[in-house]
Amino acid sequence: MTWKLRLAAALISVICFALPTSVLAECQPDEYKSTAYLSCEIQLGHYALHLPEVSDEAKPVPALLYFHGAGSSGPKAMRNKGMLKTFTERGYAIIAPSGLRRPNSRFGPGWSFLPFREKRRDELAFAHQILEDAARNHNINRDKILVSGFSVGGSLAWYLACQDPDLGRAFAPVAGAFWRPHPASTDCKSPIKLLHTHGWRDGTVPLEGRPLGGGRIYQGDVFEGLRIMRKVNGCAQLRANKFNTAGKFWRRKWTRCVEGSALEFALHTGGHGVPKGWAEMAIDWFEKLD
């Protein structure tokens, strides 16, 4: 079936079914720089959905839930053609929510996750509502969701993993982690499956973090975040016990942790961005999880 027919079928299914909250999800075919997607409005916000070509229409498809960086949007996330191509060719849908615009801010849409700032939206509730709608109306496999995000969207993925590890089957944030003050390990639920990817030369979100807004807020330290995750996952030791330095990524893995958890760190030589090869690595990691 062509993407146009899939879009039409998805639109028809949306019209036919109501949300549990009695709020009808409204999805319409749209396009961003030649990438076709469904633009969906639900009770708590907006998300973009790019569906793969499938041979079995009855079989639910896995999905990447991907949170954009500061100032971007769900539709703009579709411009990462390499990521879309890799995931859709492996049979995954791409679900890209849109952040809310911040008043009096030059940075555009963002996410509400910092505990010391006023919440403009419950992002965890928003994520659940998106996945429930996508599963009901677009045949998304709710049990096979990889949650990711880039930069501040990656930070949101860390916080969502901490709040609700069952939101997705696993989490794979890129170039964004906790902010200071870091949460306590007791603030997070266990077990968590997480693969964090970061650039050695990242100057926008350095591995050590940096102050923003004249020192009013501070990004977190990636290594402190990993320490917290080790404690949450009950890992037996501080150091990683498996290493892989072949290829584009240097990877550290902790395996002596509680059952049902997974923790890995992938470092690359680049700066602030989603590195080439990340999508393949993330899918391979995700599909090998227990």
Q: Number of structural domains, the chain?
A: 1
Which of 207, 257, 264 minimizes the C-alpha distance to 232?
A: 257
pLDDT of amino acid 7: 45
pLDDT of amino acid 22: 35
- Model confidence band, residue 57 (pLDDT cutoffs 50, 70, 90): confident
User: Mean pLDDT over residues 206-233, rounded?
Assistant: 96
Describe the strand order of the beta sheet including 179-180 as a list of residue ranges: 179-180, 217-219, 211-212
**pLDDT tens digits, residue range 225-261?**
999 999 999 999 999 999 999 999 999 999 999 999 9
> Who has greater pLDDT, 225 or 106?
225
Is the pLDDT confidence value at 203 over 90?
yes
The domain containing residue 165 runs over which residues?
3-287
| pTM of the predicted protein model | 0.91
CA dihedral of 163, 136, 41, 164, whole degrees rounded to 10? 0
Three-class SS state of 165: coil
Tally Cβ neighbours within 10 Å of residue 39. 18
Phi–psi pair at 147, nearest 5 degrees? -95, 125
**pLDDT tens digits, residue range 1-19?**
444 434 444 443 444 333 3
Alpha carbon distance 279, 89 (integer Å): 11
Is the pLDDT confidence value at 24 over 70?
no
Cβ atoms of 98 and 127 within 8 Å: the answer is no
pLDDT of amino acid 25: 63
pLDDT of amino acid 15: 41
What percentage of residues in the chain have a pLDDT greater than 90?
80
Identify the bridge partners of residue 218 per DSSP, sorted by sequence position. Answer: 180, 211
Is the pLDDT confidence value at 180 over 90?
yes
- Model confidence band, residue 117 (pLDDT cutoffs 50, 70, 90): confident
Distances (CA, A) of 259 to 184, 263, 285: 21, 12, 17
Candidate from 68-77, 96-105, 185-194, 260-269 with smallest mean pLDDT: 96-105
pLDDT of amino acid 26: 80
Is the pLDDT confidence value at 75 over 60?
yes
Is the pLDDT confidence value at 27 over 60?
yes
- Model confidence band, residue 116 (pLDDT cutoffs 50, 70, 90): confident
**What is the domain-level CATH number for residue 180?**
3.40.50.1820
